Chains A and B, each alone.
Chain A
Amino acid sequence: MTSQRVLTGEHFINGDEACTEGALAAGCNFFAGYPITPATEVAETMSRRLPKLDGTYVQMEDEIASIAAVLGAAWGGAKSMTSTSGPGFSLMMENIGLGVITETPCVIVNIQRGGPSTGLPTTCGQGDIMQAKWGSHGHYEIIAISPSSPQEMFDFTIRAFNLAETFRIPVLIMADEVVGHTLERVTIPPAEKIKVINRKKPTESPETYLPYKTDSSLIPVLPNAGDGYRIHITGLTHDERGYPVPDAETQEILITRLINKIRKNRDKIIDYEDYFLDGAKIVIVTYGSSVRPALKAMRDLREHGVKVGLLKLNTIWPFAEDLIRKLAKKVEAFIVPEVNFGQIALEVERCASGQAFTKLISHPGGGIHTPQQVTDGVKKILSDLGSKRKKR
C-alpha cells in the first residue's frame, strides 16, 4: 500500500473508495467505524490506507462508540471521520447532537440504503434526509451534502472536511448505495491544487480566553486538548466559559447562536448547479443518485420542446430555500424525484408556498428512478396544469 496521501491521477474506483480518498486528501487522519453495507468499502479502504499515512484506523464495537471516538479524536486535534448506513446512522444520533452543541468538527458519511430497520441492506434508499436534519433531539441546524457520483464523492468529501473545520460542526455526507457503489473514472488533482482548510486555533492567553465567545461570524475559536487552555467541554447548555448553566437565558443565547451560525452563513455553505432555469416552466429538483435519471429526462423533454430546467442540490442542509422561493415566482411547477415518499419535496413545497405546484415522484427504494418515470411525471404535471387552465 502506498504511503502517498493524495493519489493524483485517474482512477477507476467506486464512490465509497472515492469518498475515502477525498477524506485523505482533505487531511483526515483518524477513522473510527463499524462495518455496514453499503458503506463498508469506506472503512476497508481506510484500514488499508491510514496506517501507511501515520493515521489511526480503529474498528469500534458499534456506531455509538464510533461517533463517540470520532468526537474524542477531533478534540485530540485529528481530522476525524466515520462512515455508516441507516441502522448505524440511527445509533449515532445522540452523539451527533453532542457534536453540534460542543461544536466539534468531524465528518459522518451515510451511504443510504432502503429502510426502515434492516430494510434493503444492499440497495439504494434516500429515506434518511429528514433524519439528517431532525434525527438528534432538540432543535439545531446541521450541514449535509449530497454527492451524486464517485467524482463528487471525492470532491465533496474534501468540502465536507473544510466546512466542518470552518463552522465547527459535524458535517453529514448523505450519499446513497448507488452513488457509493458506482464504479467509474475519478480524477484526483495534484495535492497543491486541493484547497484544504484547517480549524483556527486561539491566540489569546489561557487566563483571559473564553472558549465559546464568538465574533460576528458566530463561530468559536477553540483549542485542541493538550494546547494548554484546560477547557471544559460539555453537552449541557453552557455559557461562554463552557460551563453548564441550566437556565432559559443561557439556552436562548447558546441555541440561537448555534442556529444562526449556520443560517446566517448559509450563502457560504449552500451549493447547487442549475440547468436551463432561464425561461423554464418546470424545474426538476434533484440530488444524489436521482440526478442522473433526472438529467436524462430533462434532455429528452427539452428535445421535444418542453421548457424544463433542473436544479441539482449539492448541499441539502441548510436547504436552498431562498433560491426555491425566488424560482417559485417564475416557474409553474417543481418536480422532485426522490427515493422516498417525500422529504425534500416537503421542503420545496414549503418554500414554493403556493406560488408554484410541487410534484413528488416517489420511489420506495431498492433501485432508482428510470428517466422515463421522471419524464412521465413532468408530462403528467403539464397536462394537469393545462386542464386547470381550461377549467378557469
Chain B
Amino acid sequence: MKQKASKKPDRHPKDELLREDRMPHIWCPGCGIGSAFSSCITALKKTGIDYDRLAVVSGIGCTGRVAGYLNLDSFHTTHGRAIPFATGLKLAKPEMNVFVFSGEGDLFSIGGNHFLHAARKNIDITVICVNNMNYGMTGGQVSANTPTGAITSTTPYGNAEVPLNLPSLAAACGAVYIARWLSLDVRRLAESILEALLKPGFSFVEILAPCPTAFGRRNSLGSALDMNKLYKENSVIRNGVHPDETVIEEGKKMVLGKFIDKERPTFLDRLSKTSELKSTAWPKKEMAAQR
C-alpha cells in the first residue's frame, strides 16, 4: 500500500465544525448528548449554508456546552435565556441562521416562558432540545420533564409532578416544525435537524437522550447500552400524529416522529408588512387573511 504523503493524522469529516482545541468535552461516557451533537453537525454540513452565516446559542447545563464545542459564532448565555438571546441576534441579523441547542431543564424548567412566546411570534429560529429528564450537570435533580415517580437527587421518594409534553406545548404555541427522536436515531435525527434549520419560522426538535450517570443510575436503568436498549424497545415511530398523542407515560411507548410541518408567516414577515401599513385601526384586513 502506498504511504500517504502527509504525516498529519486523518481528520474526521465532522472535525471542521468542531472546536478541536476544546477537546476533550465534559460529557460522561454513554451520554446521549454526544450523538445528538454529532447528528447536528451532519445536518449543519448538509444545509449548504456558509458556516459564517450560522450561529448557535446555548443556555446552561450539560447540553448548554454545545455552543462551546461548535466551531461557529457561538454564544453560551445565562440559564434559561438562550431563546430570547437568539431572538435578539436573529432580529438584528436576519441573514444569519440562528439555532438554540440546550437541555430541557434550561429551555423548559427555568426558561419555559421564552419558548412560549418565541414559538407564538414564530421567530425564525430552530430550537434543539436534549431531554435527558433531569439536571445532569449538577448531579441529577428533578426537572420539568422528569417522569412521575422517578428518583432524582431532589425527589428521593419519587417525583410527585407530571412532566411537560414538549411536542404538545410547541404545537399549542404555533411552532411550524416539530419532531422528536431518540439520540440513538442518528440518521432520522440529523434529517429532522436539517429540515428544521431550513424551515422558515420557529422549528423544534426534541431528543430523548439517556443520562446514565445521574438519571439512569438513580433509577436502576443499567448501563448506557441498557438505557439505549430500553429507550429503543419502549418507543414507536408515528409520523404525523397529533402532538397530544405523544405524552410520555408509564406503560406506554414513547412516540417518536415528525409531528408538525406547516407554513406560517414569521415575525419578520409580518413586521415588514405592518410597518408599510398606513392604517392604525384594527382589524387590518391585510393581516387577518393569514393566521
Q: Nearest residue in A to B74 (C-beta to C-beta)? A: A232
**Per-residue 0/1 for B77-99: is the Cβ within 8 Å of any A Cβ (1 yes, 0 no)?**
11001011111111111011000
- A interface residues, tally (CB under 8 Å): 44
CA distance A192 to B192 in the complex (A): 51
Residue B10 at the chain A interface, CB threshold 8 Å:
no
Tell me which residues across on chain A come within 8 A of B75, comparing CB atoms. Answer: 72, 75, 225, 233-234
- B interface residues, tally (CB under 8 Å): 40
**Per-residue 0/1 for A40-61: is the Cβ within 8 Å of any B Cβ (1 yes, 0 no)?**
0000000000011000101011
- Residue contact B88 to A69, C-beta cutoff 8 Å: yes
Residue A386 at the chain B interface, CB threshold 8 Å:
no
Tell me which residues across on chain B come within 8 A of A58, comparing CB atoms. Answer: 87, 91, 267
Q: At the interface with chain A, which of B65-73, B176-184, B243-251?
A: B65-73
Tell me which residues across on chain A come within 8 A of B258, comparing CB atoms. Answer: none
Q: Nearest residue in B to A227 (C-beta to C-beta)? A: B52
Residue A62 at the chain B interface, CB threshold 8 Å:
yes
- Residue contact B78 to A68, C-beta cutoff 8 Å: yes
**Per-residue 0/1 for B38-75: is the Cβ within 8 Å of any A Cβ (1 yes, 0 no)?**
00000000000001110101000000000110011111
CA distance A74 to B91 in the complex (A): 11
- Residue contact A56 to B92, C-beta cutoff 8 Å: yes
Residue A259 at the chain B interface, CB threshold 8 Å:
no
Tell me which residues across on chain A come within 8 A of B19, comparing CB atoms. Answer: 232, 243
CA distance A32 to B93 in the complex (A): 14
Residue A236 at the chain B interface, CB threshold 8 Å:
yes
- Residue contact A225 to B77, C-beta cutoff 8 Å: no
Tell me which residues across on chain A come within 8 A of B229, comparing CB atoms. Answer: none
**Per-residue 0/1 for A105-120: is the Cβ within 8 Å of any B Cβ (1 yes, 0 no)?**
0000000000000000
Interface residue from A65, A78, A95, A232 paired with B117 (Cβ < 8 Å): A65
Tell me which residues across on chain A come within 8 A of B290, comparing CB atoms. Answer: none
Residue A94 at the chain B interface, CB threshold 8 Å:
yes
- Residue contact B93 to A235, C-beta cutoff 8 Å: no
Tell me which residues across on chain A come within 8 A of B86, comparing CB atoms. Answer: 72
- Residue contact A72 to B84, C-beta cutoff 8 Å: yes
- Residue contact B274 to A70, C-beta cutoff 8 Å: no
**CB contact list, A216-242 vs B, under 8 A:** 224-236, 241
- Residue contact B84 to A51, C-beta cutoff 8 Å: no
Known: A61-B116, A225-B93, A226-B53. A233 touches B76 (CB 8 A): yes
Distance (whole angstroms) from the CB of A213 to the closest CB of chain B = 16
CA distance A52 to B21 in the complex (A): 45
- Residue contact A226 to B76, C-beta cutoff 8 Å: no
- Residue contact A72 to B74, C-beta cutoff 8 Å: no
Q: Nearest residue in A to B113 (C-beta to C-beta)? A: A61
Tell me which residues across on chain A come within 8 A of B78, comparing CB atoms. Answer: 68, 94-95, 98, 235
Residue A244 at the chain B interface, CB threshold 8 Å:
yes
**CB contact list, A323-371 vs B, under 8 A:** none
For the residues of A in contact with B, the DSSP-based class is mixed
- Residue contact B117 to A76, C-beta cutoff 8 Å: no
Tell me which residues across on chain B come within 8 A of A225, comparing CB atoms. Answer: 55, 73, 75, 89, 93, 96
Known: A76-B92, A225-B73, A231-B74. A69 touches B68 (CB 8 A): no
Residue B275 at the chain A interface, CB threshold 8 Å:
yes
Tell me which residues across on chain A come within 8 A of B232, comparing CB atoms. Answer: none
Q: Nearest residue in A to B85 (C-beta to C-beta)? A: A72
Residue B1 at the chain A interface, CB threshold 8 Å:
no
Residue A73 at the chain B interface, CB threshold 8 Å:
yes
- Residue contact B275 to A51, C-beta cutoff 8 Å: yes
- Residue contact A68 to B88, C-beta cutoff 8 Å: yes
Residue A64 at the chain B interface, CB threshold 8 Å:
yes
- Residue contact A56 to B85, C-beta cutoff 8 Å: no
Interface residue from B21, B51, B85, B88 paired with A30 (Cβ < 8 Å): B88
CA distance A95 to B68 in the complex (A): 19
CA distance A95 to B78 in the complex (A): 7
- Residue contact A226 to B85, C-beta cutoff 8 Å: no
CA distance A78 to B85 in the complex (A): 13
Residue A202 at the chain B interface, CB threshold 8 Å:
no
**Per-residue 0/1 for A228-266: is the Cβ within 8 Å of any B Cβ (1 yes, 0 no)?**
111111111000010110000000000000000000000
Tell me which residues across on chain B come within 8 A of A71, comparing CB atoms. Answer: 77, 85, 88
Residue B271 at the chain A interface, CB threshold 8 Å:
yes
Interface residue from B21, B76, B89 paired with A72 (Cβ < 8 Å): B89
- Residue contact B93 to A77, C-beta cutoff 8 Å: yes
Tell me which residues across on chain B come within 8 A of A230, comparing CB atoms. Answer: 51-52, 71-74
CA distance A266 to B168 in the complex (A): 53
Residue A20 at the chain B interface, CB threshold 8 Å:
no
CA distance A302 to B267 in the complex (A): 60
**CB contact list, B133-148 vs A, under 8 A:** none
Q: Nearest residue in B to A62 (C-beta to C-beta)? A: B113
Residue B217 at the chain A interface, CB threshold 8 Å:
no
CA distance A62 to B86 in the complex (A): 15
Interface residue from B89, B91, B275 paired with A52 (Cβ < 8 Å): B275
CA distance A52 to B57 in the complex (A): 29
Q: Which 4 A-B pairs have the closest CB atoms?
A: A72-B88, A76-B92, A69-B88, A76-B93
Q: A69-B84, A71-B88 are in contact. List 13 more A-B contacts (CB 8 A).
A: A30-B92, A60-B87, A60-B117, A65-B83, A68-B78, A68-B87, A69-B85, A73-B89, A75-B89, A95-B78, A95-B81, A230-B73, A233-B75
**Residues of chain B at the chain A interface (Cβ within 8 Å):** 19, 21-22, 51-53, 55, 57, 67-68, 71-78, 81, 83-93, 95-96, 113-114, 116-117, 267, 271, 274-275
